[in-house]
């Protein structure tokens, strides 16, 4: 019994050491989700993990956020079944693998840089 308890304790301690608290990122940094800087350049060089939170801040009267697939990202046209966000302050938990985000409120936004591809580890 004691041995089992010790093993359980070791296992738990090990888990605590290796557990990582999900990070929260404000997309675009101080600019937010905006065409001021290309959003892909904001994401470049950062290492994301599944479960991290992306916070998209924008003016909901002039912008939006659409989670698209790769085709939507490449063409700047939201694919069918793409989920649109319009709150102006959306928090999205990153799924594992590749995710694509574009802004489509103004037809030119996405091609002007309001697009982002992220790979979460
Ligand atoms: C994206 O979704 C559209 C519409 O459902 C589909 O036609 C297209 O093949 C998809 N692209 C990818 C890369 O999955």
Q: What is the pLDDT of residues 10-19, one digit of tens each?
A: 455 545 555 7
Please tell me if the CB atom of residue 75 comes closer than 6 angstroms to any atom of ligand 1.
no
Question: Does the beta carbon of 74 sit less than 6 angstroms from any atom of ligand 1?
Answer: no
Q: In angstroms, what is the span from residue 64 Cα to ligand 1's centroid?
A: 21
DSSP assignment of 38-70 equals -HHHHHTT--B-TT-EEEEE--TTT--EEEE-H
pLDDT confidence tier of residue 9, bands split at 50, 70 and 90: very low
Across the range 11-32, mean pLDDT stands at 78
pLDDT in tens, 80-94: 999 999 999 999 999
Q: Bridge partners of 84? A: 66
Level-2 CATH architecture, domain 22-119? Sandwich (2.60)
Q: Is 70 in the pocket of ligand 1 (CB under 6 A)?
A: yes
What spacing in Å lies between the alpha carbon of 100 and ligand 1's midpoint?
12
């Amino acid at each position: 019994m004691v041995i089992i308890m010790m093993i359980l304790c070791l296992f738990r301690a090990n888990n605590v050491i290796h557990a990582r608290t999900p990070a929260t990122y404000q997309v675009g940094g101080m600019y937010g989700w905006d065409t001021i800087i290309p959003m892909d350049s904001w994401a470049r060089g950062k290492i994301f993990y599944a479960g991290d939170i992306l916070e998209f801040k924008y003016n909901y009267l002039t912008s939006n956020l659409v989670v698209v697939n790769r085709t939507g990202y490449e063409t700047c046209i939201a694919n069918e079944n793409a989920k649109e966000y319009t709150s102006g302050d959306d928090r999205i938990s990153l799924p594992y693998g590749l995710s694509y985000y574009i802004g489509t409120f103004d037809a030119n936004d996405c091609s002007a840089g309001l697009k982002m591809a992220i790979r979460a580890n």
